[in-house]
Structure 1
């Protein structure tokens, strides 16, 4: 569905997005098995060639956001962009931390779906640009977590840094570095935002600035 002008959202365990900017790119890829749905939508609903997608931006390395990365890269030929601090995880050079339950689940799914590691083509840093979107490095959930902000349409992608529950912004369920996360989210304080697109749950399309300000105030207390 088109969640806001020029941006289409795929829901599931996590959210993925197609952005029509001065270039077409994806933000995150969802769990394994999501590639077929995304490619079908691009061809049948958007009437575009999958190879029109030039970049796949990964907000952070967790498997529910990168599970279809290898398949989508193979189909589209797009370059994969991720913050340098998370690049070794998608390349299979570091192992994702997790609960005793989640680690074997992820390994099992990788075997079932024949998921392969992916080497990043673009190593992102704070202040880099993808189309009209600026990269904001926001470590805390993972070391390489990022947000993407476009001052023209006032859209902010937050990955798992923020989520919306009962029309209220909350932080992530898992925080590896709470104090670092607090400093990271402070970077969002002075942005002019109309829409916040999250890694899980519904988009925030009304009163986004005030909701974020309320969350930041609560974070300081």
Structure 2
């Protein structure tokens, strides 16, 4: 049985560099009736656990470590027993939110994560954050981009630990090489496709 994708929107505050912004986050739950992974445990561990129900959480996967994507991860991990996985290059960002609680495991480029018989490949896509990753499932035709690629362009790069030329390079070399029909599931807001964003990228500022 092929895994299904569920979406939960949670709300809270993004904080970095002394600023704070109210945000709505996409939490993605991928799996079947028995087991799932949670991509970006944002804001509300109870709400996420309610959607998961009695299913086993195999992992809590962090696309990056900005607080609005990981602030509920430790509570969800404690509740479910699932490990928190993060790319090691984002540990410096993680520690801003959870200085006393390390992730349980590391994500690496081209790592495979399997849930409900469906494989997702980890793509290291730095730029929005140094350890930002996307998760690609050829079987589902879906790419989970976190804050690397949105409907309308790259993620923000105006704050600490981010870099515009780096994120553009990541998107063009790692994401725009995927099939254009690939559905983009983002960390905030509506989705898109690789083809639509590739076509729109002609209007991006030069890196």
Smaller-chain TM-score bracket: 0.7 to 0.9
Pick from 170, 176, 197: which aligns with 1:189? 176
C-alpha displacement of 1:88: 4.1
1-side partners of 2:80 and 2:52: how far apart? 11
Structure 2: 5+ residue stretches without partners: 11-23
C-alpha displacement of 1:212: 2.1
C-alpha displacement of 1:213: 1.4
1:125 aligns with 2:94: no
C-alpha displacement of 1:77: 0.5
C-alpha displacement of 1:214: 1.4
TM-score norm. by structure 2 comes to 0.79
1:16 aligns with 2:27: yes
More displaced stretch, 54-63 vs 6-15: 6-15
Pick from 187, 203, 206: which aligns with 1:218? 203
Higher Rg: 1
1:201 aligns with 2:186: no
C-alpha displacement of 1:146: 0.6
Pick from 164, 173, 183: which aligns with 1:178? 164
1:41 aligns with 2:51: yes
Instruction: Indicate the RMSD between aligned Cα atoms, in angstroms.
Output: 2.1
Q: How many residues align?
A: 181
2-side partners of 1:195 and 1:182: how far apart? 19
Instruction: Note the 1:49-64 alignment, pairs <5 A.
Output: 49=55, 52-64=56-68
2-side partners of 1:74 and 1:84: how far apart? 21
Alpha carbons 2:184, 2:194 under 8 Å: kept:
no
Structure 1: 5+ residue stretches without partners: 97-114
1-side partners of 2:67 and 2:100: how far apart? 11
Instruction: Note the 1:155-166 alignment, pairs <5 A.
Output: 155-164=142-151
Cα shift readout 1:87-138 (whole Å, capped 9, x = no counterpart)? 3432x3xx37xxxxxxxxxxxxxxxxxx774312221111111111111111
Which structure dedicates a bigger proportion of its chain to strand? Answer: 2
